Chains A and B, each alone.
Chain A
Amino acid sequence: MKEEFLRNITANQGIIHKVTKIYCENADDRKDLFQEILIQLWKSYSTFREQSKFSTWMYRVAINTAITAYKKVNRKTANMLFVKEIPSIADDEYDFEHEENLNLLHTAIGQLTGIEKSIILLYLEDKAYEEIAEINGITQNYVRVKMNRIKKKLESFIKGKV
């Protein structure tokens, strides 16, 4: 069973990375959360029935673990989430616009609550409302209502920044 688990996790580890990126403010927290999600996945592995997709089950465990361990990101550190090393001015290939968009994306996501983060993550991952609802154990109607609020929240934040 453990070998099968390891195979599945190695193949789908991108899900854990994405969840840690949305919920954590620095590399150390991301590492801790990565490990915690792995542990919870292993403990819950016996509950995985093939009625749902492996990725759906994995998102659910990862998001629940992240929400319970989630610490509110303060605005100062939220900007540091995706910042790469400081670029050299002489570096012609450096894409400042892309960098600016990254910072904006993360500062915007940093404004959201734990549940909103889980919904926006799944939306950004192109998941259908049906799957978002299944992962979070909520109704599709709730996802729609929440998504509208998140859009408004993000748009007003982005407008204020640009």
Chain B
Amino acid sequence: MELNELKKVWGEVSREKHQNHVVNADEIRQLLQHRGSGILSKLERNVRTGFWLLGIFLLITIADQYLPYDQLFTSYIQDKIPTPLIIKITGIIVNCIMMLTFILFVYRYNKLNIKILAAYNMRMALQRILMLLDTFKREFYLALIVFSCATCAGFVMGVWQGIKIMPVSGTLSELKLIGGEIFIVLVMTAIIALIFYIFHKGFNALYGKYRQQLIRTLNELDETEE
């Protein structure tokens, strides 16, 4: 069978099958009301959700650092836990980085105009979708790292200060305290590594295969154009 014959067969198939699938305006209207299940629709939904979650997460993290807990819970907290200056400065720097990253994310999100990605020519569409996926991935991992570090640091500091302020018994030596603290850090590291692994696998299952496929398609375009 030659290519011209293929064309003839295709013509017959298009006519036959098309007649079975005529969709009217009302059906199209109904279809438009449903949520799309393709990667472009998913991306749009996920990035929008990510946008709100990151915003809320950022607000909670900043509020947590500056809320006067010792004044709010006077019956539980008798002594104000002193925070070293270096921790305060680090906190401000981390907050600034998080704010800047979030603003950058919003800026990139608007610039990419995700809603009309499909209308670009193929190379540009692929480049923009990949850029969006990479930005989304970076933001996701950054949020995960910041959250993990903050949780870990807060927990370790809390335990350390707690033991120092209210020692359980006088028999605990400094060495045992340090040993206990190291054990806690190791356990926390293992938990965080597990959380990371689960999220990493989940992210790859959702987007990894699409990303690879899009990269292959883009490489295929570049290869022949060169």
Task: Report yes or no: B1 in contact with A162, Cβ–Cβ below 8 A.
Answer: yes
Task: Report yes or no: A10 in contact with B23, Cβ–Cβ below 8 A.
Answer: yes
Task: Report yes or no: B116 in contact with A44, Cβ–Cβ below 8 A.
Answer: yes
Task: Report yes or no: A14 in contact with B1, Cβ–Cβ below 8 A.
Answer: no
Interface size on A, residues (CB 8 A): 61
Of the candidates B11, B116, B225, which one forms a contact with A142 in the assembled complex, judged by CB atoms under 8 Å apart?
A: B225
Instruction: Bits for B121-154, please: 1 = Cβ < 8 Å to A, else 0.
Output: 1111110010000000000000000000000000
Of the candidates B1, B31, B40, B217, which one forms a contact with A114 in the assembled complex, judged by CB atoms under 8 Å apart?
A: B217
Name the A residues within 8 Å of B126 (CB-CB): 67
Name the B residues within 8 Å of A86 (CB-CB): none
Known interface pairs A61-B118, A136-B121, A137-B124; A68-B40 also in contact (CB < 8 Å): yes
Known interface pairs A64-B125, A154-B6; A105-B13 also in contact (CB < 8 Å): yes
Task: Report yes or no: B122 in contact with A138, Cβ–Cβ below 8 A.
Answer: yes
| Residue of chain B at shortest CB distance from A61 | B118
Interface residue? A98 (CB, 8 A): yes
Interface residue? B39 (CB, 8 A): yes
Interface size on B, residues (CB 8 A): 51
Query: For the complex, what is the distance from the CA of A31 to the CA of B203, rounded to whole Å?
Result: 26
Task: Report yes or no: B36 in contact with A113, Cβ–Cβ below 8 A.
Answer: no
| Residue of chain A at shortest CB distance from B14 | A18
Task: Report yes or no: A35 in contact with B36, Cβ–Cβ below 8 A.
Answer: yes
Q: Which residues in window 61-105 of A have CB below 8 A to B? A: 61, 63-65, 67-70, 72, 82, 98, 101-102, 104-105
Interface centre among B24, B28, B126, B216 (most CB of A within 10 A): B28
Name the B residues within 8 Å of A82 (CB-CB): 13, 17
Name the B residues within 8 Å of A162 (CB-CB): 1
Known interface pairs A38-B32, A105-B9; A68-B41 also in contact (CB < 8 Å): no
Query: For the complex, what is the distance from the CA of A48 to the CA of B119, rounded to whole Å?
Result: 8
Instruction: Bits for B81-115, please: 1 = Cβ < 8 Å to A, else 0.
Output: 00000000000000000000000000000000001
Interface residue? A124 (CB, 8 A): yes
Question: What distance in Å separates the Cβ of B168 from its nearest Cβ neighbour in chain A?
Answer: 59
Query: For the complex, what is the distance from the CA of A69 to the CA of B36, rounded to whole Å?
Result: 11
Of the candidates B9, B29, B40, B224, which one forms a contact with A145 in the assembled complex, judged by CB atoms under 8 Å apart?
A: B224
| Residue of chain B at shortest CB distance from A162 | B1
Known interface pairs A101-B1, A105-B6; A35-B31 also in contact (CB < 8 Å): yes
| Residue of chain A at shortest CB distance from B3 | A151
Task: Report yes or no: A137 in contact with B122, Cβ–Cβ below 8 A.
Answer: yes
Interface residue? A40 (CB, 8 A): yes
Task: Report yes or no: A124 in contact with B38, Cβ–Cβ below 8 A.
Answer: no
| Residue of chain A at shortest CB distance from B35 | A39
Query: For the complex, what is the distance from the CA of A35 to the CA of B38, rounded to whole Å?
Result: 9
Question: What distance in Å separates the Cβ of A61 from its nearest Cβ neighbour in chain B?
Answer: 5
Of the candidates B13, B116, B123, which one forms a contact with A21 in the assembled complex, judged by CB atoms under 8 Å apart?
A: B13
Task: Report yes or no: A115 in contact with B38, Cβ–Cβ below 8 A.
Answer: no
A–B Cβ pairs within 8 angstroms, 9 of them: A7-B25, A10-B28, A14-B18, A17-B14, A38-B32, A65-B118, A98-B9, A101-B1, A104-B1
Which residues does A use to contact B, with CB under 8 Å? 6-7, 9-10, 13-14, 17-18, 21, 32-36, 38-44, 46-48, 57, 60-61, 63-65, 67-70, 72, 82, 98, 101-102, 104-105, 108, 113-115, 118, 123-124, 126, 136-139, 142, 145-146, 151, 154-155, 158, 162
